[in-house]
Each structure stands twice: as C-alpha cells, then as structure tokens.
Amino acid sequence: MFSKVFKILHHPQINTPYSLEDILKTDAKVDFLVIEGALSRSEKILSRFGYSFKDILDILSKKAKYIICAGSCASFGGIFRLQNEAKIFGALFSGKEKGGFWFNNSKVINISGCPMHPRWFVETLLKLHYGDKLSLDEYRRPKEVYSYLVHHGCLRNEYFEWKVDCKDYGEKEGCLFYEHGCQGPMTHANCNKILWNSVSSKTRVGSACFGCTEFDFPRLALYETKKHMSLPSAPYGISKRAYYSLAGVAKGFKIERLEKRLIDENN
Ligand code: SF4
C-alpha cells in the first residue's frame, strides 16, 4: 500500500533512485521531508557536500510541503537531550521549553514515540496525501493518535481503580502504576487501543509504560514510581485532591477477586 501511493526519493540506508546531492541540487518540490534522529546544532561543514548539517536541513525544508519528525529524537531530542542538550535542536520544542530548530515552522508534524508506531506514520502521511483534515495538539502531534492515553484500553484498568499493585514484571495481575513506574495515565498515545503488531503492548506483557511519546522522555529511573509523601503523582488531567480522596477510599477495600492469580496452577 505505502509503496503504491508514495515514492521514496532518497533514504541513506535503502536503495533509492536519487542521492542526497541530487535532491539538494534539484529545484523540484517534494511532499514530505521525513527526519529521524535528534538534530545537531553543529555548524561544521560536511566535507562531502560543502554544507553544514543545518544548511542541508534548511535547503530540504524549503522543498517540502510537510516536515515529518519521525520518533521522539527528531520530535523533541529524545535520549540525546540528556547527554548534551545544548548541542541538540530537536525539530520542534513547544510548551514547557520553547526554541528548537523550526519552532515556528507550520510545516512540522511530530510523530513522537521510541519507537514510533508504524501505523501512526503511515496514517498521517495518507491523511495528508488525500487532503484529509489533520488536527494537531500543542506539541504538533496528530490528535487522532495523541489525544488518547496509554492507560486507555489497558487490560489492567480494574486493578488501577482498586489500587491493586502488580507484584512483579511480567505478571498478568495488578497495575504497574504504584510501584513499577507506569506512565500510562500521563502518556499520550493510542498504544493500548491499536496495539503493536495488532496483538500486544508493554502493559499487556507486564512491563510499565515509560512515557516514550512525551516531550520530557526519557525521565531518569524509567521504572520507578515517583512519590510524594508515599503517594504517586495524580493521573493526567485529574486534580490531586480528587485522585487522593478516591485512591484512599479504594485502597480501604480489599477486593478478594483482584488479589488472586488469574490462572492459579494449583487450583
Ligand atoms: S498498568 Fe499502567 S496503563 Fe495499565 S492500568 Fe496500570 S497505570 Fe494504567
């Protein structure tokens, strides 16, 4: 489907009809400039081309109708921001930290995720190609994907509501929010709705969501629940007061069914 609709003109690692030099020299326009990886602030001239990396991006961005930042590194700097934030642009920072290479470039669309789900990418390109309306959130991510939370569709929601912890990674029972750092209630993406390879997700196999689509990814201590006075942060969009009152009530009940193994080999 993808190759029937789109023609890839250049990619550094796959066999494509044009070299980067061809693309830089031509006056022809392209529909999409797709960027992967964090962007460098370096002004160093790349000897093969006689341009700096920044020049190359400027030239290519003018040719493109849309600039797609594929993955969290291209969108927000990703793991490289931890190493040396000063040298990394990211493609577009907004919200908490403004700046970035193309902060004001309305062509930019961020498809964050580490990795980005291939369906988010293909669906976004198809929508743009067919002229469908694409609404973006404050981080210029498609709302169709990023208005959901990873928490939506997680099979552990009942355990979350009754504050029943998962005892260990890989277990079918319990919620990973209280002790294992699950960021599902704060992370925008529809992973648990569309699933990976249409069959699974981190939380379905007993691993916590570590918030890879968010602007501030990666946090340090990915699998640790940050607590204040022994209470985890409230889920996204819920007041602390409401959350802690409800959590206190729920924790007071012991729901026997939820404390048991789903499949008990001994019974
Ligand atoms: S494991 Fe994570 S995503 Fe699933 S219910 Fe618990 S907090 Fe939500």
| pLDDT tens, residue by residue, 195-221 | 999 999 999 999 999 999 998 899 888
- pLDDT for 95: 46
Average pLDDT, the chain: 88
As a whole number of angstroms, the distance between CA 7 and CA 3 comes to: 6
Coil vs helix vs strand at 81: helix
Predicted confidence band of residue 152 (pLDDT cuts 50, 70, 90): very high
Cβ of 177 less than 6 Å from ligand 1: yes
Question: Which residues is 35 bridged to in the sheet?
Answer: 69
| Residue-wise pLDDT tens digits, 85-98 | 556 555 555 445 55
What does the pLDDT read at residue 11? 94
Residue in 156, 172, 202 to alter for ligand 1 test, most ligand atoms within 8 A of Cβ: 156
Which of 15-19, 43-47, 48-52, 184-188 has the least mean pLDDT? 43-47
- What residue owns the CA closest to ligand 1's atom 6? 175
Quote the pTM value: 0.90
Tell me which residue has its CA closest to atom 8 in ligand 1.
151
Identify whether the C-beta of residue 252 lies closer than 8 Å to the C-beta of residue 236.
no
Residue ranges and CATH numbers for the domains of the chain are 2-142 (3.40.50.700), 148-258 (4.10.480.10)
Residue 184 CA, ligand 1 centroid: distance in Å: 5
Give the pLDDT confidence of 221-264 residue by residue, as tens digits: 889 998 877 788 888 999 988 988 888 888 888 889 999 999 88
- The 3 state secondary structure assigned to 130-188 is CCCCCCECCCCCEHHHHCCECCCCCCCHHHHHCCCECCCCCCCCCECCCCCCCCHHHCE
Tokens of 238: 């819920």
